[in-house]
Structure 1
């Protein structure tokens, strides 16, 4: 059967999203070379849309392409994680300032709703994927009124890269409890439009999460 271009695009987009989430969740080991035949079977997709998805993930930074042939999961590098965390701080604090300046009542409502869903997820620690999605939506809602789609796109890519490290790191319940509490404090500061205090708290929030994520890798020799 001949696959239409639109169907091929849909298949490629679907496997791109599925494989992206699996890479972030750590389904594949750092440094692992991906077997095309195994991927075709696992994701139930043909070679053409699979290769398109793999090329997109390599451009996105979640895969490394080797001599235009194979694909490998990137190694966990402490210096890369530090760079990602530093950029997150700069760009998210910029977006936060703009969101506080531009945000209206609709933004406030969306943020409050996202905060509520995240708190409910905090009460069910065994359902980690639900928490991860609620956490992601909360941070998107917090910055959503910044007014710059490109800034949000860059931040989203940094989040995905950062989360690949964070999710492979050993749990740190003490820091996790502090981070959970900071989400509510960020909402209160957003309602009060206290930009200075919110930027300082977001900086601390990213730094603490960075501290947890660093547990997944060691410095280069």
Structure 2
């Protein structure tokens, strides 16, 4: 097997990992659904080897469940898991935000302003929701990107994917979404003012409100 073939296989695996990860987060598959590998192979136009590699990586990442000798299954939506994810988001993101406010430089400030501006201008209509979600993810990533810890950001990224899987499967609550959208701008103002205490409290409230929306995806939410 040549080096070029290995490189192409690795590239295909990375591409399908990113595509499938986004589709799983966006609710393209039903919770608990068994993954039909041959169907995915045809749908995503990818070889069996890179597809299996991507599925194994997604299982290790926590977005799929690997069943012994029986392939893969989409994870169910469980309130206890969502509670755990939300609590870890509060712990790690507020820590990262506090560090970013203390350590963030002028470049971080300008990137945060740009990310907030792009998010505010993004269209939330059903036809453009994927683009809005991309801007939303970039905004939250930029907000804490000045924390100075690659590992902390990596954990936060993974938690966001897990959390967003629940949020995207939940019914929309427009009045709460309006409050959350307003908080995006308020968080930027507080971060730029270097007000750690108020920024931390607002981010905790932001995550709690979003959690209450995401909870609507769980059958055992009551």
How does the TM-score come out when normalised to structure 1?
A: 0.96
* Deviation for aligned residue 1:129: 1.1
Aligned residues: 220
What root-mean-square deviation, in Å, do the aligned CA atoms of Structure 1 and Structure 2 show? 1.5
- Equivalent position of 1:153 in the other structure: 154
Alignment of 1:1-221 (within 5 A): 4-121=5-122, 123-126=123-126, 127-219=128-220
SS of match in other structure, 1:75: coil
Determine if contact 2:24/2:165 at 8 Å carries over to the other structure: yes
Encode CA deviations 1:78-136: one digit per residue, 9 max, x unaligned: 11001000000000000001101111110000000000001101x55342111101101
* Deviation for aligned residue 1:4: 1.1
Larger mean CA deviation between 202-211 and 125-134 belongs to 125-134
Task: Provide structure 1 residue ranges, at least 5 long, that are not aligned to the other structure.
Answer: none
User: Distance between the aligned counterparts of 1:92 and 1:25, measured in 2?
Assistant: 22
SS of match in other structure, 1:71: strand
Larger mean CA deviation between 124-133 and 100-109 belongs to 124-133
* Deviation for aligned residue 1:219: 2.2
CA distance change for structure 1 residues 65 and 83 in 2, over 3 Å: closer, same or farther? same
User: Distance between the aligned counterparts of 2:168 and 2:98, measured in 1?
Assistant: 28
User: Distance between the aligned counterparts of 2:48 and 2:110, measured in 1?
Assistant: 44
Determine if contact 2:215/2:221 at 8 Å carries over to the other structure: no
User: Distance between the aligned counterparts of 2:62 and 2:131, measured in 1?
Assistant: 25
User: Distance between the aligned counterparts of 1:220 and 1:120, measured in 2?
Assistant: 33
Task: Provide structure 2 residue ranges, at least 5 long, that are not aligned to the other structure.
Answer: none
User: Distance between the aligned counterparts of 1:68 and 1:54, measured in 2?
Assistant: 14
Determine if contact 1:15/1:53 at 8 Å carries over to the other structure: yes
